[in-house]
Amino acid sequence: MPLKVIIADDSIITVKKLLVLMEGLGHQVVATASTGREAIEAYRRHRPDLMTMDISMPDMDGMEATAHIVAEFPEARIMMVTSHGQERMVIDSLDAGAKGYVLKPVRIEKLSDMIAKVMERST
C-alpha cells in the first residue's frame, strides 16, 4: 500500500535521492523539511504514515525533533536516515522514539527492507 511520507534532511541531494527512491517504491512524498523545527511543523500539518529523519540538521537536530514528535504523536513512525554509524547514536535514536535506522549511502533494497520492518513493528 502506498505510504504518505515526509523527508527531513538538510541536504538537497539526499532529499532528492530519497524522493526518487520513495516514488520508485510506490510511495508519495507529501512534504520535505530541512531543519528539526520544520520537521515537527510538517508532521503536525500532514500526519504522514512515515517520516525519514536525518540526525545532523541546523536549528534542532533530528534526535530532538523525533522526541518532540513522538511525545505529541506516540504512534508516529520515524525512521532515521543518516551516516552516523556509532552504536551509541543508534541506541539514542531508538530511545528518542525512532522505529528504524538506515545508514547512508541509501540503496533501494535497504530502504525497502527497513520500511517493511518499521511498518511491521507498529502494527
Distance, in Å, from the CA atom of 77 to the CA atom of 97, rounded to the nearest integer, reads 9
Q: How far apart are CA 79 and CA 114, in angstroms?
A: 8
H/E run at residue 6: strand 4-8
CB of 17 to another protein, least distance (A): 6
10 makes contact with another protein (CB under 8 A) = yes
Secondary structure (3-state) at 42: helix
Out of 83, 113, 116, 121, the only residue in the binding site for another protein (CB under 8 A) is 83
Measured from the CB of residue 34, what is the shortest distance to another protein in angstroms?
10
Task: Supply 89's cell numbers.
Answer: 547514536
Q: Which residue's CB is nearer to another protein, number 16 or number 47?
A: 16
Out of 1, 75, 87, 109, which residue is the one contacting another protein (CB under 8 A)?
87
